[in-house]
């Protein structure tokens, strides 16, 4: 049982008061696979007598069943709880453990070492104050050691313990210890750590974990626990300006309207002036409300409801801030991004960005460079793969309030979410707002889309033809345009091959280039619709995300997705250019349907079975469907189709 057990039995009130007054330290363990992270924390808990009797009994049984230490205790099993972790002897998920000593309370996050679980390591590091980076004394500084060190620096951790582990396997060599220490410090000079404390340890044998080891008589620094108990981590979140993201507008009745959330930084009291950066409106705090009654003040980490002296417009996602220390407010940002998904980052694709309680559309407009975690060099690149890190420019659907991540971790972070799968694909840290030309603004125009459509007696729209190469898209689109032209309609056909001779001549056929190809075409189609034109767009457009992006640019009813469904074997028989043959032989890379994916539309406005129906029949069906949509649904008021 834990060391406080006697106090719990004798004076529970004193024990609780003592616990309340202790400081809290959050730290992570990280490093390469098999460096001994789980074993280290398991040994720390064991030697500190922080393992309960039922845990001890289970650990002894599990050590014999799935342990890696023969008949001895396998301390890693205290942390590796998933069945897959025990079967493989690795950490997969982040394991959190709470423990305390006489001097301090701790929350430790044991993070995985495998490169494929780097995203889990970022999650564990995001709230930590200290990082314990393990290095196998036999192997020295490895790629994953460098990767985790860079990520540790990236998320704002400034104090590092360099635990050089498995010293028992190198005969507790001082020379080996110093060699690894020097190698690591040379690499880490560019990472901006405030302190690096190297400790020679053996997690398995317990050397320098709790007490000094006689086997490392040449080492005169602190043990691991002594360091964790005494490291001075300045919690400056209270000294930062007041910030509170609004998570809920609390309106239980007509007489109460408050704004609920967790304070990200600073403190707040009744009478303080606050501002809503999105609108610039200011007010003063009237009350700081909690379930236990009103408070004279509240600090970072507390969840409260604020009432204001004025009725101003505040919604979920707004950021309440100190009026005299306002955050930045912009819709164009530079950020550092850790990519966390198997599908690569595609600049130009529309993602969802979530920061605090705000969710909005965002695009990576430019990947400025990737970071080589071994050398910290900046490398050119068009995309980011799983676990890669880069610096990029973002364009947001609307401006957000934020602080640079290095100034305030709580209001400078975000995640990127895939719009279709809702999967988290990236984690980012905002550096600063991008400057925009101050002389650029929306010019007020007297004519608009409605007036231009009225002049042409038609409703502007986009007919978006999508399907495999050889499916018949361009043939059908050409026939539809001819039929509409014969009816006196104003049209324009955007064809995939044709735009690559001019507008998109600089683009290839990688996934990233395909995304940019469709983004540009969608912007052009939107301009044509604003001009009152019926646009026919014939593009393979293989990805659902980009077709959805094009749809989202327009008003309801202005975008028709027409899926030209033709079996690939029929497409190949129509391939007069021999493209499929070249793709099958490997001469033509990234060809849709062969070595590049085509995502079938989920709910198009029309499915054209071009394998069994003639192009003429399909074109006539599309035109008749357009003609059938009469009145306000199809045309501006006062016009006729």
Q: Please indicate, yes or no, whether residues 73 and 15 belong to a single structural domain of this protein.
A: yes
- Assess whether 502 and 609 both reside in one domain: yes
Domain housing 592 = 449-633
pLDDT the model gives residue 589: 84
d(CA 622, CA 80) in angstroms, rounded, equals: 59
Same domain, 493 and 625: yes
Q: Is residue 173 part of a domain?
A: yes
Both 589 and 494 in one domain: the answer is: yes
Rounded CA-CA distance 345/516 in Å is 12
CATH number at residue 270: 2.40.30.10
> Does residue 517 fall inside a structural domain?
yes
User: Is residue 440 included in any domain, yes or no?
Assistant: no
Q: What are the tokens at 496?
A: 């995939």
Question: Is 158 domain-assigned?
Answer: yes
Last residue of a domain, one of 230, 252, 280: 230
For residues 480 and 536, the answer to whether their CB atoms sit within 8 Å is yes
Taking CA atoms, 138 is separated from 131, 144, 170, 219, in Å, by 21, 15, 7, 18
Q: Would you say residue 146 lies in a domain?
A: yes
Nearest-CA neighbor of 301 among 355, 259, 238, 248?
Answer: 238
Check whether residue 417 and residue 473 sit in a common domain: no
Length of the chain: 641
Element of type H or E holding 529: helix 511-530
**Structural domain count of the chain:** 4
* Final residue before a domain boundary, out of 322, 350, 367: 322
pLDDT of residue 106: 85
CA distances from 377 to 90, 190, 202, 338, 439 (A): 30, 11, 33, 16, 36
Does 533 share its domain with 516?
A: yes
- 442 located within any domain: no
Task: Give a yes or no: residue 443 inside a domain.
Answer: no
CA distance linking residue 500 with residue 289, whole number of Å: 60
Contact 338, 122 (CB under 8 A): yes
Catalytic residue list contains 350: no
CA distance to 45, 81, 92, 226, 454, per residue, from 97 (Å):
9, 12, 15, 18, 67
CATH number of the domain residue 454 falls in: 3.40.50.300
DSSP state letters, 368-414 = EEEE-TTT--EE--S---TT-EEEEEEEEEEEEEE--TTT-TTTSEE
How many angstroms separate the CA atoms of 345 and 381, rounded? 11
What are the beta bridge partners of residue 390? 337, 370
pLDDT block averages, 10 residues each, the chain of length 641: 53 60 82 75 70 52 54 53 38 65 82 61 80 92 86 88 93 96 92 92 88 93 92 77 94 90 93 92 94 91 92 92 92 92 90 92 92 84 89 92 90 92 92 72 79 90 94 94 93 93 89 89 95 95 91 93 94 85 86 88 93 93 84 42 49
Contact 400, 359 (CB under 8 A): no
Considering the domain architecture, whether residues 311 and 340 belong to the same structural domain is answered as no
Catalytic residue among 32, 202, 541, 565: 541
Instruction: Say whether both 89 and 186 belong to one domain.
Output: yes
Residues 125 and 210 in one domain: yes
pLDDT at 283: 94
Strand partners, 261: 304
Residue 4 · residue 14 · CB < 8 Å: no
Q: Where are the beta strands (DSSP E) in 375-513?
A: 378-379, 389-402, 413-417, 424-433, 461-466, 491-495
Going by DSSP bridges, is the β-strand pair 358-371/424-433 parallel, antiparallel, or unpaired? unpaired
């Amino acid at each position: 049982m834990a060391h406080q057990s006697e106090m719990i039995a004798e004076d529970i009130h004193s024990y609780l008061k003592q616990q309340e007054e202790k400081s809290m330290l959050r730290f992570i363990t990280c490093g390469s696979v098999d460096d001994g992270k789980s074993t280290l924390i398991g040994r720390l808990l064991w030697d500190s007598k922080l393992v309960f009797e039922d845990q001890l009994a289970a650990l002894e049984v599990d050590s014999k069943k799935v342990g890696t230490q023969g008949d001895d205790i396998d301390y890693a099993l205290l942390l590796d709880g998933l069945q897959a972790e025990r079967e493989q002897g690795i950490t997969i998920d982040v394991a959190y453990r709470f423990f305390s000593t006489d001097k301090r309370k701790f929350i430790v996050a044991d993070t995985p070492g495998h490169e494929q679980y780097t995203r889990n390591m970022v999650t564990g590091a995001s709230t930590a104050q200290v990082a314990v980076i393990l290095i196998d004394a036999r192997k020295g500084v490895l790629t994953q050691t460098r990767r985790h060190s860079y990520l540790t620096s990236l998320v704002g951790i400034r104090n590092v313990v360099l635990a050089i582990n498995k010293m028992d396997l190198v005969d507790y060599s001082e020379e080996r210890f110093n060699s690894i220490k020097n190698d690591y410090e040379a690499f880490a000079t560019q990472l901006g750590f405030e302190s690096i404390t190297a400790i020679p340890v053996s997690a398995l044998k317990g050397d320098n974990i709790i007490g000094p080891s006689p086997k490392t008589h040449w080492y005169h620094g602190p043990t691991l626990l002594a360091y964790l108990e005494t490291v001075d981590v300045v919690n400056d979140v209270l000294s930062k300006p007041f910030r509170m993201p609004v998570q809920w507008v609390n309106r239980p009745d007509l007489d109460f309207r408050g704004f609920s959330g967790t304070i990200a930084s600073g403190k707040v009291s009744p009478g303080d002036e606050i501002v809503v950066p999105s609108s610039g409106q200011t007010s003063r705090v009237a009350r700081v409300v909690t379930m236990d009654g009103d408070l004279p003040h509240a600090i970072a980490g507390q969840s409260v409801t604020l009432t204001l002296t004025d009725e101003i417009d505040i919604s979920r996602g707004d950021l309440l801030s100190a009026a005299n220390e306002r955050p930045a407010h912009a819709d164009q940002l530079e950020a550092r991004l850790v990519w966390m998904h198997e599908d690569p980052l595609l600049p130009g694709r529309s993602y969802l960005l979530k920061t605090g309680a705000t969710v909005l559309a965002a695009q990576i407009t430019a990947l400025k460079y990737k970071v080589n975690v071994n050398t910290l060099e900046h490398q050119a690149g068009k995309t980011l793969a799983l676990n890669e890190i880069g610096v990029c420019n973002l364009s947001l659907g609307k401006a957000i309030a934020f602080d640079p991540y290095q100034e305030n971790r709580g209001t400078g972070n975000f995640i990127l979410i895939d719009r279709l799968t809702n999967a988290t694909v990236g984690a980012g840290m905002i550096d600063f707002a991008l400057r925009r030309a101050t002389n650029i603004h929306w010019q007020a125009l007297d004519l608009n889309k409605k007036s231009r459509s009225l002049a042409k007696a038609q409703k502007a729209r986009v007919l978006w033809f999508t399907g495999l190469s050889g499916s018949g898209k361009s043939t059908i689109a050409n026939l539809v345009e001819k039929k509409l032209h014969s009816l006196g309609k104003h049209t324009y056909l955007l064809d995939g091959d044709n735009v690559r001779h001019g507008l998109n001549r600089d683009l290839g056929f990688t996934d990233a280039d395909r995304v940019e190809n469709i983004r540009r075409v969608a912007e052009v189609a939107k301009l044509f619709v604003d001009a009152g034109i019926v646009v026919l767009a014939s593009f393979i457009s293989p990805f659902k995300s980009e077709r959805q992006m094009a749809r989202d640019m327009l008003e309801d009813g202005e975008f028709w997705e027409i899926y030209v469904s033709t079996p690939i074997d029929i497409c190949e028989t129509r391939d007069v250019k021999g493209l499929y043959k070249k793709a099958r032989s490997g001469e033509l890379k990234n060809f849709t349907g062969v070595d590049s994916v085509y995502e079938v539309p989920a709910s198009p406005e029309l499915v054209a079975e071009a394998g069994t129906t003639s192009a003429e029949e399909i074109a006539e069906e599309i035109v008749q469907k357009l003609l059938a949509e009469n009145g306000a649904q199809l045309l501006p008021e006062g016009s006729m189709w």
